[in-house]
């Protein structure tokens, strides 16, 4: 009789809340769930914007200080300070994301939760930003860092 293989676990820490940084943890969480992997995503600091109802569908791309952005957007770094450049870059990125048939952030968050991923807001970061569980997308829970560390025991851990 074959030994039963333990369930695979993936724990993702999402720490950045710009539009370009919202998709990596969501794509990884979705891919893992589609592969039958248990997934917990811990949103901390600006990563909370990804699951904050008022902000999740208004995320923007940071143009200044993002060297990878400039060859894609074809502008020198210095021009990133011009008003409206971040909005233009964000609109361009949303258009490219739509062409790839990826959903907007809010819809993608719901899709990941519907697939069975567990989403957690960092208690300390939420306290610092004056957020409550009611500010988060329905279904997300609030968790302390120590609790997340304990629950992610044995999981593959990714920091995004």
58-97 pLDDT, tens digit per residue, is 998 877 655 555 555 555 655 556 666 677 777 787 888 8
pLDDT at 107: 97
Buried b (16+ CB within 10 A) or exposed e, 146-160: eebeebbeebeebeb
Q: Is the CATH number 3.40.50.1970 carried by domain 10-57+104-159?
A: no
Span 92-110, mean pLDDT?
A: 89
Q: Which residue has the higher pLDDT, 73 or 120?
A: 120
User: Above 70 in pLDDT, residue 19?
Assistant: yes
- In the chain, what are the domain boundaries? 10-57+104-159, 61-102
């Amino acid at each position: 009789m074959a030994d039963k293989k333990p369930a695979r676990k993936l724990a993702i820490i999402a720490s950045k809340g710009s539009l370009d940084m919202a998709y990596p943890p969501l794509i990884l969480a979705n891919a893992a769930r589609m592969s039958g992997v248990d997934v917990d995503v811990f949103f901390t600091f600006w990563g909370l914007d990804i699951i904050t109802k008022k902000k999740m569908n208004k995320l923007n791309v940071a143009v200044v200080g993002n060297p990878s952005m400039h060859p894609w957007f074809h502008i020198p770094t210095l021009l990133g300070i011009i008003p409206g450049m971040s909005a233009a870059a964000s609109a361009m990125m949303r258009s490219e994301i739509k062409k790839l048939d990826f959903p907007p952030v809010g819809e993608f968050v719901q899709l990941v939760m519907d697939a069975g991923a567990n989403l957690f807001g960092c208690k300390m970061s939420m306290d610092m930003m004056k957020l409550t569980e009611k500010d988060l997308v329905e279904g997300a829970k609030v968790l302390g860092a120590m609790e997340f560390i304990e629950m992610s025991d044995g999981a593959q851990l990714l920091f995004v």
